[in-house]
Amino acid sequence: MKELKGKARELLMQAMEGEQRVVVVSGAGISAESGIPTFRGVEGYWQVGSKNYHPHELATLSAFRRQPREVWSWYLYRRGVCLRAEPNAAHHALVRLEQHLNERFTLVTQNVDGLHGRAGASREQTYEVHGNIRFMRFDDVGELDPRLIPEELSTDWARGRQVHDDEINYLRHACGVLGRPHVLWFDEYYDETRFRYDSTLRAAEAADLLLVVGSSGTTNLPVQVAERVSERNIPFIVVNKDVDSYFVDLAQHSQTGAVLIGNASEWIPVVVDQLIKAM
């Protein structure tokens, strides 16, 4: 069992004096121990014909416009991986923290896997700032609300399997227009309606403690959250398996930052226990 010591412990104790607000930013690393690959390793790649694509090339609107079937095949495969995975101790621990803090808790997740919600995180306090892979939407016909991807599309999707003609029809609107995965792609912009952009920045401005877990810091909004918190000299703790990440760097160079190197499923329950004890 890990034990909290030194600066991280001091910052947590200091942060929890009074009616404090906690913001948690989670990234792909928190779900890695549930068996969902991050975008970093070789498992993230996807082969189309003889070419291997990095996720950053496929998770774009321009790739979807060019090769919608290939992008859909990749998403249907990833949807299956996410739906078959189970939340781990880190997801569950964050639910306990939410239950203690209620509306003083905000979870900003970059993950599209829905594991926080399946662990019991509330819809109100969870901002899925990159969408949710179980859903699709029809921007091209001006429909705002995402719809669940029809269950006729198998969740037992083999790696590399392409979507068939009859299956692609489940992804069409009644008018024939093809829907798209309900995610934010790398060449797109955040907004409030779908991705809670303004709400996230407001939560960052009001935070008394920031916890960043399992994120490399390559996406814009989570980086803005950490920078706003760090500029205000608010305690922030970064949990990552690896030292090589933007957030680790930021925390190490900040007076009020601390880093816990190791697995999310080991550190987050310890951090949450400490916070609950300090309340």
Q: Is 130 a catalytic site residue?
A: yes
Question: Which of 20, 111, 126, 230 contacts ligand NAD by CB under 6 A?
Answer: 111
What does the alpha-carbon distance between residue 47 and residue 157 come to, in Å, rounded to a whole number?
15
Nearest to 3 by CA among 241, 271, 265: 271
Binding segment toward ligand NAD, per CB under 6 A, in 38-46, 140-148, 171-179, 225-233: 38-46
- The one catalytic residue among 91, 92, 116, 130: 130
Packed helices 197-206 and 220-231: angle between N→C axes, nearest 10 degrees: 20
Across the strands, what pairs with 26?
A: 109, 213
CB of 95 vs ligand NAD, minimal distance in Å: 17
Per-position b or e across 162-198, b if 16+ CB within 10 A of its CB: ebeeebbeebeeeeeebbbbbbbbbeeebeeebbbbe
Integer angstrom CA distances of residue 256 from 16, 160, 232: 14, 45, 9
Q: Does 230 bind ligand NAD (CB under 6 A)?
A: no
CB of 102 vs ligand NAD, minimal distance in Å: 25
What does the alpha-carbon distance between residue 217 and residue 244 come to, in Å, rounded to a whole number?
10
Binding segment toward ligand NAD, per CB under 6 A, in 91-99, 136-144, 208-216, 249-257: 208-216
| Closer CB to ligand NAD, 22 or 264, in the complex | 264
| Closer CB to ligand NAD, 104 or 195, in the complex | 195
Q: Does 39 bind ligand NAD (CB under 6 A)?
A: yes
Nearest to 89 by CA among 231, 277, 276, 267: 267
Question: Which of 4, 8, 11, 36 contacts ligand NAD by CB under 6 A?
Answer: 36
Packed helices 264-278 and 89-101: angle between N→C axes, nearest 10 degrees: 20
Per-residue interface string for the shown chain with ligand NAD, residues 250-279, x marking contact by CB under 6 A = -------------xx---------------
Taken as a whole, the chain contains a residue count of 279
Binding segment toward ligand NAD, per CB under 6 A, in 4-12, 17-25, 27-35, 187-195: 27-35
Provide the binding-site residues for ligand NAD, judged by CB under 6 A. Answer: 27-29, 31-33, 36, 38-40, 110-113, 130, 214-216, 218-219, 239-242, 245, 263-264
Give catalytic residues, as residue numbers.
Answer: 130
